Amino acid sequence: MVGAVEIAGVRGVIQAPEQVVARLAKSDRVHFITRAPHARLFPRCSVVVHHGGAGTTHSAMLAGRPSIVVPHVADQFFWGDRLRIRGIGSKPLPRKRLTAAALASRLRSTIDDAKMRGNAEEAGVAIRAETGPARAAELIEAAIVAHLSAK
């Protein structure tokens, strides 16, 4: 990841466990952290590179930032494909194919893609406007009322 940031000529924040951060090559372009609240960090990023888990995917979308998904297992491949299909993420880069050059290429193309940035910003606005828990409660209450009325 450090190599990708260097090749792409961008700055990056890399989150990893402390024992991993201690072994990584230092770079003037990279800031290493062990933990960060996504809600505060992601809105300050140009692009979010992540594994594609549902929670992190939601956080990147909520921030209105395009994603580069590096899926490892399970649903991460699904979420990476969904982001690509919706035009708010690059083609996923499976971990087994991850190289500095491949990630650098995705970084540059994603950062330079104005349409993808716009799509991600629009998705973020839409998600922030959702009232999911309140709407879910309304639907559940309506279903209970309908069920009780049918008896």
Structural domains in the chain, CATH included, are: 2-149 (3.40.50.2000)
Choose among 116, 136, 134: nearest CA to 124.
Answer: 116
The per-residue pLDDT for 60 is: 96
The per-residue pLDDT for 26 is: 83
The CA distance from 126 to 110, in Å, is 21
The CA distance from 8 to 100, in Å, is 9
Q: Per-residue pLDDT for 151 more than 80?
A: no
For the stretch 132-144, pLDDT in tens is 888 899 999 999 9
Q: Per-residue pLDDT for 16 more than 90?
A: no
Task: Give the list of residues 6+ apart from residue 52 with CB closer than 8 angstroms, or none.
Answer: 67, 69, 70, 71, 75, 76, 77, 78, 79, 80, 83, 92
Choose among 63, 62, 94, 64: nearest CA to 78.
Answer: 94
Q: For 6-14, what is the mean pLDDT?
A: 92
Residue 102, classed as helix, strand or coil, is: helix
Q: For 97-117, what is the mean pLDDT?
A: 95
